[in-house]
Structure 1
C-alpha cells in the first residue's frame, strides 16, 4: 500500500505485539520535526550566571558600584552570584561579612529576589539573586 501511494512504511512501536506501523512521507516528517525544534530553540531563554565579588571590608561607594553592575545584569535577565571571600584573619569575623551581604541584598531588593540565601562554603559566603519577573 505504501509503494502504491509513493510513501514510506515507518515502524512506530516495534516492540508492541503486533508491531505498529504507519504509512507517511518520512522526509516531510523529519523536516517538520527539525522546524519545530528550531522554533523551540529560538523561543528558549538562556539564563547566564554573572558573578560579583565582594570583600568584608568594602567601602560604601565600592559596594554601590558593584550593586549597579549587578542591577544591570538582573535587568538583562541574568542571575547574579554574589561571592564574599574571606582572607586570613578575616575568617574570625564572619558576622561582618554577613552584614555586608545583607546590605548588598537590601540594595538589590528592587531589581531581584534572593534565590539562595548567603551560605558559607569554605572561605566564601555565597548568595544567588534571580531577576524579578
Structure 2
C-alpha cells in the first residue's frame, strides 16, 4: 500500500501556529512550561527541529519540539501496521431451493465450510417460486439438514426467517477462545 494513501491529521508547525503563548515540551519529553511563541520558535530553531502544535484546542496550546518529518513517518508506519492487523469479516451468500437433491446440498455445505473456516459469515437462503410458497416447511427442513452438515464448522447466528419469497439463515464461524 503506498504511503500517500494513508491520511494522518495534519498538525500546525513552526510559523503556522497563531497562539501568543504555548505550553512547550522539548525533544526529550520534558516540560519547559508556558512560554511566548517567539521563544518557543527560537528554541526549536536552535536545536534545528520543528515546533509542532500537538493539542491546538488546549488552553494554552501544547507544542512540542521534534523532527516533524520523522514524526510523520513514524505515525504513517503505525497506521499501516494497525491496518495490517485488522481482519475484515465478509458475508458470503449461498442460495438453495426447496427441492434440492442431497448431493447438491452436500456440495453447498462443503462450500459453506470453506467460507466458515476462512472466518467469513455465511448467509443461506432458500428461494420459493410459485406454488412452493405454500410449502415453506420443506424449505425449513432443507435449512435444518444444511445446519446438521455445517454445525462442526459454524454456529447459527440468526434462525431461519421468511423475508418475502425467501427464507434466510445466517451462520458464523465457531469462536475458538
TM-score (norm: length of structure 2): 0.70
Match of 1:29 in 2: 71
Partner Cα separation in structure 2 for residue 69 and residue 123 of structure 1: 24
Structure 2, unpaired ranges of 5+: 1-42
How much has 1:46 moved relative to structure 2? 2.5
Following TM superposition, the consecutive aligned residue runs of length 4 or more in structure 1 with deviations greater than 4 angstroms are none
Asked if 1:131 is matched to 2:173, the reply is: yes
Partner Cα separation in structure 1 for residue 57 and residue 138 of structure 2: 64
Match of 2:33 in 1: none
How much has 1:7 moved relative to structure 2? 1.0
Which of 45, 48, 53 pairs up with 1:3? 45
Give the aligned CA root-mean-square deviation in angstroms: 1.3
Higher relative contact order (CA 8 A, sep 6+): 1
Moved more, 100-109 or 8-17: 8-17
- SS of 2:44's partner is coil
How many residues align? The count is 133
Structure 1, unpaired ranges of 5+: none
The structure whose Rg is larger is 2
Report matched runs for 1:31-70 at 5 Å: 31-70=73-112
Partner Cα separation in structure 2 for residue 42 and residue 17 of structure 1: 36
Asked if 1:79 is matched to 2:121, the reply is: yes
